[in-house]
Every structure is written in structure tokens, then in C-alpha cells.
Structure 1
Amino acid sequence: MTAKELIRKAFGTSEMILGRYMEGLTDPDLMVRAVPGMNHLAWQIGHLISAERGMVEMIRPGSAPSLPAGFDDTHSRKNTGDDDASKFLSLEAYKTLWKAQRQATLALLDALPDAELDREEPGKFPPFAPSVGLLMHTAGTHPIMHAGQFVAVRRLRGLPIAF
């Protein structure tokens, strides 16, 4: 298995997990905070889209689709406490944006020469993912870091176990 195949599998795994956790959710579910201090799912999903876009843009500027005006700000860390549902999108709108971003991300992965996976840009790439390959892998696994918050909302709402 090549490095690019392994990275693609990471994207596939996280997409499968989050896809299952989103099954049965409604728009009102996206604004639920299952426990005090937990971010609601609307913020979580928007954060994941924004973060993936940011990682892709670090690697090859201009290769990610644009987001609605104010999207990054709404889903930034400074707005984790915002409970105004009118500032967030519907589940379907988030899924549409996520799909478009994911297609662009995988297109970039396919277009990268294997040797570019080792390229590092200190000061531009974050310390936890200092190379193109690690940044792409992080983009693929990042949704898994948020999966537990989806589980908590699903349990609170009485939805069936996803796995």
C-alpha cells in the first residue's frame, strides 16, 4: 500500500464513521449541547469543514472550494458558545459543503506527486503535521477526534447505536 492509498483510507474511515453518526439527526439536533461546555454539532461540522479547507489551502492555495461569507468566523473557536441557530446551517447544507470540500481534498491528494508528501514548510504547516503527507493524513483523521460528541447527542436524543 502506498502512502497516498493509506491517506485515502483514513479519509474513507472517518467519512464512514461520521456519516453513520449523522444518520437520523435533524436540524434541531445540531444545536444540542449534550453536556455543559460541549460544542453543538452545527459548530462541530462547520469546524471540520473549515479546518479541512484550511489544511488543503496550506498545501495548494486555491484548490479548495469557497465557503459562504462568514462561515469560518461562525465556526471559529471564539464562537463555540454561540447558540443562535440562525447563524448556523441545516444538516443538508453542511453535508453539501462537506462533500464539495472532500471532493476537492481527494482531488488534491490524487494530483500530488508522491515526492511532495515529504515537503515541509516550517512556519506555514502546523507542528503536529509538518509535511504535506502528515497534513493530508491529519485532514483525513480529524473528524474522528470529534466523533464522541456526535455519540453523546445521539444517545441524548434516543437514536440507535450507529455501530
Structure 2
Amino acid sequence: MTSTALLQDAFSRIQHNVRGAVEGLSDTDLGFRPDPGGNSIAWLIWHLTRVQDDHVAEVAGAEQAWTSAGWAKRFGLPFAESATGYGHTAAEVAALDGIPGELLLGYYEAVHDRTLAYVATLTDADLPRVVDTRWDPPVTLGVRLISVIDDDIQHAGQAAYLRGMLQRRR
């Protein structure tokens, strides 16, 4: 298995988990928060997608789907287009209440497709390229992609957990 195939497989597993967390839920269910300070499924899926879009677009030297494909306008959220959800307050998390699952999945799928297309262009020789010198040691392309995968897996798992909480309540 090549590094490219491994990365594609990891991103495809995230896709499976995202769909499993969202599909079939109402807009109200997607906004469920276990307490007023908690995250919702909608926010978690939006956030993991924003991080993937932001980070992969940056290393690919491309514009984010969020802005270039009009997703920011479709969502109409009350924060800067550059926001990825990092450090969001409970009130900002609540801004995702009522967001339809079709919109969340549409944006996620657009980012997923762009990610797989970018990853398909990579070779093993690309992965040691330094993409961020703000850290010590500097971050390589391989480390950045694994970081995105790790973040996405955690948030998709949190969304799946919330879905399970909803199902047990019924």
C-alpha cells in the first residue's frame, strides 16, 4: 500500500463516520447538545469539515471550498468566513442549530472530494516537505495531513456518541 492509498483510506473512513453520524437525523437532532456548554452534531461536523477544508487547501495552495464554492454564503453563519470553530463559545456553537443535514453533508462531501483529489497527486517524496515553520520542529505535509485525520476522527466519534445518546433517549 502506498502512502497515498493509506491517506485516501483514512479520509474515506472519516467520510463513512460523518455520514453515519448525520444521515437520517432531523435538524433538531443535529442541534442536540448534552448540556448548554456542549457541542452539537451539527457543530462537530461543520467544525471538522472547516478544519479539513482550511488545512488541506493551505497545503495544496488552493482556495477553500468554504469561500470559493459559496458554502459560507449558503450556511449564513454570524462569524467571519475564516472561522473554523476553534475556540468557539457556547453561543457560537448554537449558531449551527437548525442547519439541515443535507447542507452539512453537501459541504463535507465537497471538501472530501477535494481532499481525495489533492492526496491523489502526492508521492512519498512530497510528505517530508515543511508546510508550517511556526512549530518546533516544523510541521511537514505528512504530519499536517495526519493531524487533520486525527482531528476529524475524534470529532466524528464525538458526533457518533451524541447520535447514540439521542437514540437511547427514544
Residues 125-150 of structure 1: CA deviation (Å, up to 9, x unaligned) = x6698211222233234222013432
Aligned to 2:16: 16
Tell me the number of residue pairs that the alignment of Structure 1 and Structure 2 aligns.
158
Q: Under a length normalisation based on structure 1, what TM-score does the superposition of the two structures give? A: 0.79
- In structure 2, which of residues 57, 68, 83 is the aligned counterpart of residue 73 of structure 1? 83
- Within a 5 Å distance, the mapping from 1:53-132 to structure 2 comes to 53-62=53-62, 64-65=64-65, 66=67, 67-69=71-73, 70-73=80-83, 75-82=85-92, 83-85=94-96, 89-123=99-133, 130-132=139-141
Aligned to 2:142: 133
Aligned to 1:153: 162
Partners of 1:121 and 1:131 within 8 A in 2 = yes
Aligned-residue Cα RMSD (Å) equals: 2.8
Q: Percent identity?
A: 25
- Note the residue ranges of structure 1 that are not aligned, 5 or more in a row: none
- Within a 5 Å distance, the mapping from 1:20-59 to structure 2 comes to 20-59=20-59
Cα distance, 1:103 vs structure 2: 0.7
User: C-alpha distance in 2, partners of 1:74/1:144?
Assistant: 16
Q: Under a length normalisation based on structure 2, what TM-score does the superposition of the two structures give? A: 0.76
- Note the residue ranges of structure 2 that are not aligned, 5 or more in a row: 74-79
Partners of 2:129 and 2:141 within 8 A in 1 = yes
Partners of 2:131 and 2:139 within 8 A in 1 = yes
**Is the deviation greater in 138-147 or in 21-30?**
138-147
Partners of 2:53 and 2:64 within 8 A in 1 = yes
Residues 72-121 of structure 1: CA deviation (Å, up to 9, x unaligned) = 437342344332456x6311011111111111111111122431111013
User: C-alpha distance in 2, partners of 1:14/1:74?
Assistant: 18
